[in-house]
Structure 1
Amino acid sequence: MSQKLSIDTAALLLVPPLMWASNAVVGRAVADMVPPLTLNFLRWFVALLLLLPLGWRVLGRHSVIWREWPRYTVLGLLGVGLYNSLQYLALHTSTPMNVTLVAASMPVWMLIIGRLFHGVAIRPAQVLGAVLSLAGVAVVLSAGSWAELMALRFVVGDLLMVLATILWAFYSWQLTRVPVDSPIRDHWAGFLLGQILYGVVWSGLFTALEWRWSDAQIAWSGGLLAAILFVAVGPAVIAYRCWGAGVQRVGPTVAGFFNNLTPLFAALMSLFLLGEHPRLFHAAAFALIIGGIVLSSHRRAR
């Protein structure tokens, strides 16, 4: 059962959008150096190696990750194999801003999937919160200008990101289906390692198909190695750890609203990289998105 949103949980859920904003920027930067499905495989293979010293005990013969292999197969497919593969594919034809814009529809998909597949009622406050949050995203992408918003154009990569976002919503709801008394639930490294272990198998299969049916090549360099290490540590291990813990505390619906901070963080990163300063519309967007989060997490008194 989800808990009330607390300050420490909010801080926990601020980490993933920050990491994923940087993931979109880095993914776009190395798009010409490494094939997208290969990048996803390398990212998670490195993450697997990093987690092994912390969670290797869960790999014993009688471990829950073997007994409940269907659960971890699905979690690995949705969260590791498909979502990130589709995102990197999307970044080959789309921009980080467009990708994060499409991902901002996540609260809507969280509500819909929760209602259709898990019987969770949609409250009016959550709908209003989604509207406020999406309005904040629109302010970021339009730079406060209606003309800029109307000038946005969508490409094939954006459609891939729509599919990725829907799959991520399914993944997040699946996290809540892990039994509370599961021996691995509170072992964050082991729980994540179990997902990655199956996810690497899926992403390895997708990578094999990519090299079989395309002219895939890798342009190795120090910059590419640094990028792979970064996306393995930050957007993978750290972000997934914080997201999983946050979802288990407050549920996927409330957590999904935090994802709408991703385009704001992406825009701010671009500003600082260009040596510019935040503007008034950034503050307005932040207020709208935070307002949506607060409103969606508010519970009526019984």
Structure 2
Amino acid sequence: MTPGLTPRTALLLIIPPLLWAGNAVVGRLVNQLVPPITLNFLRWALAFVILLPLAGWVLRRRSGLWAHWRRFALLGLLGVGAYNALQYLALQTSTPLNVTLVAASTPVWMLGIGWLCFSQKVSRRQIMGALLSIAGVLVVLSRGQWSLLAQVRLVPGDLYVLLATVAWAFYSWLLARPAEPPEIRNDWAAFLMAQMIFGLGWSGLFAASEWALTDAHIRWGWPLAAALLYVALGPAILAYRCWGVGVQRAGPAVAGFFANLTPLFAALMSAAFLGELPHLYHGLAFALIVGGIVVSARR
């Protein structure tokens, strides 16, 4: 196994892709019930209420949060305010499988951002792996029509998910560079709550803009309530908890490999719940992306 990757850490890193795949499917299912950015805000507002009994002490003046507010504001912007809002936006015009396959280029962005912003060295093997993964993403973006690649027109969802992937890569590198007081860093609920406090501000601002600029509306009912409960408990609280611990233990580059399990789970769930069967080019794209990460991660 990769140094630092124990079976327990591997399990922690498998849980988030499973929940994220479900998040993509649910986001697609409710896209006619709630606007995408509003969905993100409601998700995190519910998660905030759930975590309040466990980590409400973070709101106190002397908790250590406010002395590091700039860092938590940035984490909240990237991980809470931007990433999922962009993903839900992507699901308005793209399928869960396409969204998760494009997002599977995360390790490539991890390497590039680590090199540009965090002084991480990149080997030739990693560059080769990155090129393979990029080829996989191009297969998805071109819908498998290589002859038309130069003329391909990206749907808005493809661009949104690329932006989301860049935001997540920055977020993961920041997680791997701890700079918080120990009482917050060592308490998973407090650490997530500290991000949500600022993230709710960002997502609320984005949601307000959505309602001001579009014909937004919500269709309340049990389907939407069940969806909100799932995305708040699973992809928000549990997935962020497992991902944060996994990144700390295994490092962002290794953790990024596990993100590539998301398209596999999304393909299975899309076929089961949405009737959206994968195409041959999806399989080719997945093979290229995973192959690239395997090449990059080899010691």
How would you bin the TM-score normalised by the shorter chain? 0.7 to 0.9
**What is the Cα deviation at residue 77 of structure 1?**
0.5
Aligned to 1:17: 17
Please tell me whether the aligned partners of residues 133 and 260 of structure 1 are also in contact (alpha carbons under 8 angstroms).
no
Partner residue, 1:67: 67
- 1:8 aligns with 8
Map 1:11-90 to 2 at 5 A. Answer: 11-90=11-90
Per the alignment, residue 111 of structure 1 pairs with: 111
Aligned to 2:236: 236
The DSSP-based 3-state class of the residue aligned with 2:223 is helix
Distance verdict in 2 for CA 1:229–1:122, change over 3 Å: same
1:7 is displaced (CA, Å) by: 1.7
Q: Partner of 1:169 in structure 2? A: 169
Query: Is 1:98 paired with 2:98?
Result: yes
Could you tell me whether the CA contact under 8 Å between 2:102 and 2:140 is conserved in 1? Answer: no
User: C-alpha distance in 1, partners of 2:8/2:289?
Assistant: 18
CA pair 119-100 structure 1, distance change in 2 beyond 3 A: same
Matches within 5 A, 1:213-292: 213-273=213-273
Report the residue type matching 1:266 in the other structure.
A
Distance 1:261 1:141 in 2: 19
Residues 242-282 of structure 1, C-alpha deviations (whole Å, 9 max, x = no match): 1111111122122112111111111122344489999xx99
| Structural mapping, 1:187-202, within 5 Å | 187-202=187-202
Question: 1:58, CA displacement in angstroms?
Answer: 2.4
> Matched residue of 1:160: which SS?
helix
Q: 1 CA distance for matches of 2:20 and 2:52?
A: 23
Whole-angstrom CA distance in 1 between matches of 2:274 and 2:33: 23
What is the Cα-based RMSD across aligned positions, in Å? 3.4
User: CA distance change for structure 1 residues 207 and 138 in 2, over 3 Å: closer, same or farther?
Assistant: closer
Which deviations, in whole Å up to 9, do the C-alpha atoms of 1:107-131 show, x marking residues without a partner? Answer: 1111000000000011234345546
In 1, Cα distance between the equivalents of 2:158 and 2:220? 28
Work out the CA distance in 2 between the residues paired with 1:284 and 1:93: 22
Indicate the larger mover: 290-299 or 244-253. 290-299
Range that drifts further, 230-239 or 125-134? 125-134
**In 2, Cα distance between the equivalents of 1:41 and 1:180?**
25
Between stretches 38-47 and 116-125, larger displacement belongs to: 116-125
- 2:287 and 2:6 mapped to 1: Cα distance? 18
Change (3 A) 1:76 1:180: closer
Q: Structure 1 residue 146: deviation in Å?
A: 9.2
Is residue 141–residue 154 contact of structure 2 (8 Å, CA) maintained in 1? no
Q: Which amino acid aligns with 1:96?
A: P
Counterparts of 2:214 and 2:283, CA distance in 1: 44
Output the TM-score relative to the length of structure 1: 0.85
Show structure 1 runs of 5+ residues with no match.
none
User: Structure 2 CA distance, aligned partners of 1:189 and 1:41?
Assistant: 19
State the Cα distance separating 1:90 from its structure 2 match.
1.1
In structure 1, give the amino acid aligned to 2:168: W
Deviations 1:152-174 (A, max 9, x none): 97411111111111111111111
**Conserved? CA contact 1:5–1:297, under 8 Å:** no
Of stretches 281-290 and 40-49 in structure 1, the one that deviates more from structure 2 is 281-290
Asked whether the equivalents of residues 78 and 167 of structure 1 are also in contact (C-alpha less than 8 Å), the reply is yes
Q: Letter of the aligned partner of 2:155 in structure 1?
A: V
Give the stretch that moved more between structures: 62-71 or 122-131: 122-131
Which piece of structure 1 moves more, 22-31 or 209-218? 209-218
- Write the deviation string for residues 160-211 of structure 1: whole angstroms up to 9, x where unpaired: 1111111111111111222386331111110011001110111111111111
Contact 1:137–1:264 (Cα < 8 Å) also in 2: no
For residues 85 and 275 of structure 2, the distance between their equivalents in structure 1, rounded to whole angstroms, comes to: 32
